[in-house]
Structure 1
Amino acid sequence: MELLFNVYKHSRRLIVQVSTRVIVIQSSAYSRLAEVGRLEAPKIQGKYDTGQLFLHRIFGYRGVVLFPWLARVYDRDVPNKKDRYRAQTEAVTFLGNQESSRSLYAIPGLDYVAHEDILPYTTTEKHPLSHELFDKFLMYYPDKDPPFGAQETLRAWQKKNHPWLELSDVHKETTEHVRVTVIPFYMGCRESQAASVYWWRYCIRLENLGELTVQLRERHWRIFSLSGTLETVRGRGVVGQEPVLSKQLPAFQYSSHVSLQAPSGHMWGTFRMEREDGYTFDCRIPPFSLESKSDESNPPSGVI
């Protein structure tokens, strides 16, 4: 799996490919074409190295790989299948070091991207991406391939945050041509005299594999804690939205958080989907475990 920077989403700029060139159309009062690099052949075997620039195949932004990881994939559509996975999210969140058990910090522009969604490219630009951490984490080496390498600050940051950055399991399931991918992350524990509260974040990606447009209308979650409690959560949409999955924009992704007063538990549920012809159905969310990690160090803060 790979942690990386992203630069922008497709909502503001459009990326097109002309032969092997990467062309960016910037949306402004004076639109212009700008060549930012040349595409390379995607890797079939092995993982991408730190410093590899890429285009996201579905979400259409540019990024650079920070860390490569492997993860187990539990695909309920293909029993016993395991593969490399790198999943895209909008930000990486951390449990802060403050006393409050609800102090969450987010670092925008840090994503996890699926191997098959990476379109690698090369460039001669020494500063190809605009991110406040790019120059702190990476340095330009003209004779290196890829030409960007990790600085000591990136290696130190990875060492400090490793238990809360690396994912281990990915869960997938498809219902009525809507594919749901879930990636859980353990964030740490906050202890007080009253209770211990364990925190996880989970990233969910929905992708429409069919021909007809569908819209997410409702969510229904079941959350089981090892303490013996079973919670039911129902509501309209997700993160305040009712996303539409069409041929033009087939995928939607979001992340959220859950806390338990026990070191482990499970989550599962359904999304109520409505197709453009009026047909409604429940799209299954594959069950996934919430497992804590034992680590003597404190969870990292969001301040770098």
Structure 2
Amino acid sequence: MGDPSCLWSPYSSDSSVETSTFRDPPEWDDPLAAPGDLLMSKNHGSPPHEEYLGHITKDHIKGTAHTYYQVLIDSRDCQFLKYTKKAQTEAVTFLGNQENGRTLYAVPGLDYVAHEDVMPYTAFNERPIHHELFYKFLQRVADKDPPFEARDTLKAWQKRNHPWLELSDVHKETTEGVRVTVIPFYMGCREAHSPHSNDVFWHLPQWRYCIRLENLGEKAVQLRERHWRIFSLSGTLETVRGRGVVGSEPLLTKRDPAFQYSSHVSLQSPSGHMWGTFRMERADGYEFECRIPPFSLESKQGDSPPPAPAVDS
């Protein structure tokens, strides 16, 4: 590759330039073996400075296995993304403790990244990543490369919350040069009042789904409208339509080709499906419907909620 390249955050607007070097290309081809590696995103639509926490189990895209990583995002990049609206600042949310189904937990600055979307690099400063969990989860080991390893707190946290952190199938579909990636996560059950009686509580399963849009072409394209269809195993079909996503109509250009956000959905049954379209518009006014690949919403085994109580007509 020649002389090492100097690396800095393409999002940072202040003096957060870091002295770093890229790894040799052969190392990029092999999955990372242990937590503690430093990663930079290849795509400017995602936060560039990340710390690898764990190897995620395979996903299935057309029957093939792909490697994903659980990562901490540098808080400086999160602030810049929020200011520029290049992407929603990621936070993993889950209900976790089923004894208190109304409590929502959030871990800000935690994300999942595909192996092909990152480049490992080496940083020479003592604190390469700014994140409140960095030194709670990882410890420096001077004679190790990378010089960090998982603490017992990280191992215990991952073991305790594994059902809510585990990555399930990843779904991708491309329409007219715009690729949509969907990753659903089961969050657990939450308590909700029955619509028929305030004295009756239902335990409703809830999911978080992460959506990533990527413009693979040369021409800019903007998301104008979303159209969702949500099918529940109980037999209900819900249609949701609205402007943009999470209060934004992201513009995907060659320079900033990606946008990512997360949202939540709950059902009155243990499983269901979601699918839909995004209405996209190019600069010349041409519009097209970009398909959102259909994906399943499945409760974890042994954690399915009881069926909704029957109501007399």
Quickly name the TM-score band, shorter chain normalised. Answer: 0.7 to 0.9
CA 1:50–1:270: 2 relative to 1, 3 Å: same
Query: Is the contact made by 1:205 and 1:254 (CA closer than 8 Å) also made in structure 2?
Result: yes
SS in 1 for 2:8: strand
Q: CA deviation at 1:74?
A: 2.5
Alpha-carbon separation, structure 2, partners of 1:26 and 1:176: 28
Equivalent residue letter for 2:109: G
Equivalent residue letter for 1:230: L
Q: Tell me the residue number matched to 2:111.
A: 111
1:39-85 C-alpha deviation (Å, 9 max, x unpaired): 3434323344200111111125211100101222324xxxx444334
> Does structure 1 residue 249 correspond to structure 2 residue 233?
no
Q: Tell me the residue number matched to 1:83.
A: 66
> Does structure 1 residue 35 correspond to structure 2 residue 22?
no
CA 1:32–1:288: 2 relative to 1, 3 Å: closer
Q: Tell me the residue number matched to 1:203.
A: 210
- Which 5+ residue runs of structure 1 have no aligned equivalent? 1-16, 297-304
> Does structure 1 residue 55 correspond to structure 2 residue 40?
yes
- Which 5+ residue runs of structure 2 have no aligned equivalent? 72-88, 193-199, 304-313
Alpha-carbon separation, structure 2, partners of 1:32 and 1:164: 33
1:188-219 C-alpha deviation (Å, 9 max, x unpaired): 01346332201000000000011110000000
Equivalent residue letter for 1:106: A
Q: CA deviation at 1:90?
A: 1.3
CA 1:27–1:81: 2 relative to 1, 3 Å: closer
Equivalent residue letter for 1:66: L
Q: Tell me the residue number matched to 1:170.
A: 170
> Does structure 1 residue 20 correspond to structure 2 residue 4?
yes
Q: CA deviation at 1:154?
A: 0.5
Query: Is the contact made by 1:73 and 1:84 (CA closer than 8 Å) also made in structure 2?
Result: no
Equivalent residue letter for 2:123: T
Alpha-carbon separation, structure 1, partners of 2:218 and 2:190: 46
CA 1:234–1:146: 2 relative to 1, 3 Å: same
Q: Tell me the residue number matched to 1:185.
A: 185
Alpha-carbon separation, structure 1, partners of 2:24 and 2:243: 42
Measured on the aligned residues, the alpha-carbon RMSD in Å equals 2.7
Decide which of 276, 279, 287 is 1:280's aligned counterpart: 287
Alpha-carbon separation, structure 1, partners of 2:14 and 2:190: 51
Query: Is the contact made by 2:272 and 2:298 (CA closer than 8 Å) also made in structure 1?
Result: yes
Alpha-carbon separation, structure 1, partners of 2:297 and 2:11: 42
Alpha-carbon separation, structure 2, partners of 1:27 and 1:209: 21
Alpha-carbon separation, structure 2, partners of 1:99 and 1:32: 43
Q: CA deviation at 1:118?
A: 1.3
SS in 2 for 1:262: coil
Percent identity, aligned pairs only, is 61
CA 1:158–1:31: 2 relative to 1, 3 Å: closer
1:203-250 C-alpha deviation (Å, 9 max, x unpaired): 000000111100000000000001110000000000000000000100
CA 1:29–1:71: 2 relative to 1, 3 Å: closer
Q: Provide TM-score, normalisation by structure 1.
A: 0.82
Query: Is the contact made by 1:21 and 1:39 (CA closer than 8 Å) also made in structure 2?
Result: no
Alpha-carbon separation, structure 2, partners of 1:255 and 1:28: 23
Alpha-carbon separation, structure 1, partners of 2:157 and 2:37: 19
CA 1:128–1:234: 2 relative to 1, 3 Å: same
Give the helix-richer structure, 1 or 2: 2
Q: Tell me the residue number matched to 1:269.
A: 276
Alpha-carbon separation, structure 2, partners of 1:84 and 1:274: 32
Q: Provide TM-score, normalisation by structure 2.
A: 0.80
Bigger shift: residues 43-52 or 264-273? 43-52
Equivalent residue letter for 2:278: F
CA 1:86–1:181: 2 relative to 1, 3 Å: farther
1:151-195 C-alpha deviation (Å, 9 max, x unpaired): 110011011111110112000000010000000000001346332
> Does structure 1 residue 258 correspond to structure 2 residue 262?
no
> Does structure 1 residue 159 correspond to structure 2 residue 167?
no
SS in 2 for 1:228: coil
Query: Is the contact made by 1:222 and 1:231 (CA closer than 8 Å) also made in structure 2?
Result: yes
Query: Is the contact made by 1:48 and 1:65 (CA closer than 8 Å) also made in structure 2?
Result: no
Alpha-carbon separation, structure 2, partners of 1:177 and 1:101: 41
